[in-house]
Amino acid sequence: MKQAGIEIEKITVRYGNSVPVRALSLDVKPGEFVSLLGPSGCGKTTTLRSIAGFSDIAEGDIRIGGVSVRDVPANKRNIGMVYQDYALFPHMSVEKNIGFGLRMRNVSADEIRQRAFAAAEQLRLSGFLDRYPQQLSGGQQQRVALARALVVRPDVLLLDEPMAALDKQLRSDMQFELKDLQKSVGITTVFVTHDQEEALSLSDRIAVMHDGKILQIDKPDTLYQFPATRFVAEFVGTANLFKAKVSNVGGKSRIELDGLNVSIQLDRELKAGEVEVMLRPEQIEFGNEASVSLPVRVQSTVFVGVATRYQVTTASRQVVRVDVSGVQSVRPATGEQATISWRLSDMRIYRDGRLEP
C-alpha cells in the first residue's frame, strides 16, 4: 500500500455563524499515525471530515500526496474511513461488507472476492466471512470496518473514535492490534479521539485541539512532559497547579508558592511576576528526599492496581494529587500528617497560561 502524506494549510470551516475550525494547519508525514485529541466541540471531527471531503472548507487547502483535493468530491479522494459506530450494513455478510467499496468502484467479482479474503485473513476474520454484523462481537465488527476501509487500498486512513463503543479491556486489546496493523500496512493515518490514554499509546504524534485550533503537536512523551500551555497540561494527564510569584536577586529567580511558605531557588532568571507551577502526580513523593518539600495532610487514598492515588491538602487547603507506585515505601494513612517533595527539574512554570522556556 502506497504512503501519501497529508498537508492541511490554514483551513477554515464555517457552518452559518459557527466556525468549528479556524485557520488550522497540519502536516502528516507518509506512513505516520497522528491523533487529533481534544474535548467535544474542539473541531477534531470536523477536521477529519474535511480531509475526507464531507465538510467543505471556506478557506485554505488540503493536499494528499502533494495534490490538492479541495475541489475533489469525497467519493473520488481514495480515502479509507472507519466511523465510531462502524456503519456496517446489517443485511450484508462480512464478506459483502468488506467488498462493498470495491463494488462501488466496479471491480470484478473475482478480484473483489480475492481481495476480501486477503483482507479478512490479515484481520483474523477468515472464519467469519459468512456471518452478519449482529452475529459478531464489538471487536470483530471493528475489524470488519477496518478491513472494508483498507481493502480499497486507500491513500490515507481516517479513524473517527472507532473504539468508543468497546469495553475497557477490549478497547485496550484493540489499541495494540490497531497499532500493529497500521505499522505493518504502513498507511498514513489520522485518528480522532477524546481519550488521552488512547492517543498516547497509539500515536507517532498528537495534535491537541481547542476551539478549532491546534495548541500543540508533538510526540506523546514530549507532549506529556512539556505541555506548551496550561490547557494541554490539564487535558493530557493530571496536573497539580500551584499559584506562585517570581522575584529576582543577583541574576537568579526565586519562586514563592502562594500561601504555603515555600521558597524555591532557581539557577536561572525569569521575568518577575505571577506564574503557576505544574507537577504531575507521579512526580511527587512522600518524604523530604527531593529538592522541594511541603507539609500536607492525607485526605483520601484509592488503590488502582499500578499505584495508590492520594489526595492531600496543604495548609492553604489546596488539594494535591500524588501517585505512589510499588517502589515507594512511604505510604501514610488517611488523616495523617505527611511531607511531600519533588525535584526542581520536574517543575513546569506557566505564565499567562503558556510554558516558560
Write the DSSP assignment of 279-324 as a string of letters.
Answer: E-GGG-EESS-SSEEEEEEEEEEEE-SS-EEEEEE-TT--EEEEEE
Indicate yes or no: pTM above 0.95. Answer: no
User: What was the pLDDT predicted at 2?
Assistant: 63
Query: Does residue 1 have a pLDDT over 60?
Result: no
Please state, in angstroms and as integers, the Cα–Cα distance from residue 231 to each residue in 22, 62, 211, 223, following that order.
18, 27, 11, 12
Query: Does residue 305 have a pLDDT over 60?
Result: yes
Confidence of residue 304 (pLDDT cuts 50, 70, 90): confident
Average pLDDT (162-174) is 81
If DSSP codes are grouped into helix, strand and coil, which group holds residue 17? coil
Q: How many residues does the chain have?
A: 357
Confidence of residue 251 (pLDDT cuts 50, 70, 90): confident
Q: Which of 140-144, 163-167, 323-327 has the highest mean pLDDT?
A: 140-144
Average pLDDT (223-228) is 97
